[in-house]
Amino acid sequence: MGQNKTQPTQADVEAFLGAVAPPARQAEARAVCEIMALVSEEFVAESLAHMRRAYP
């Protein structure tokens, strides 16, 4: 099985988003980033709730 190309890094997300041009594309990138953060938070919360129910 191959390795995932996407790997965790210490890269600064804000610096990356700040370098996106043109401004309309930067706004879209920031919106996608916000959506991903919300979905990730929900996923983590749901996973923790499931683990608490499964392993009281």
Q: Report the distance separating Cα 24 and Cα 43, nearest Å.
A: 29
Longest dimension (CA), the chain: 50
Q: Report the distance separating Cα 27 and Cα 33, nearest Å.
A: 10
Average pLDDT over residues 43-56: 85
| pLDDT number for residue 19 | 97
* Residue carrying the six token digits 């804000």: 14
| pLDDT number for residue 13 | 92
**12: helix, coil or strand?**
coil
| pLDDT number for residue 34 | 92
Tens digit of pLDDT for each residue in 5-44? 888 899 999 999 999 999 999 999 999 999 999 998 988 8
- Binned at pLDDT 50, 70 and 90, residue 52 comes out as confident
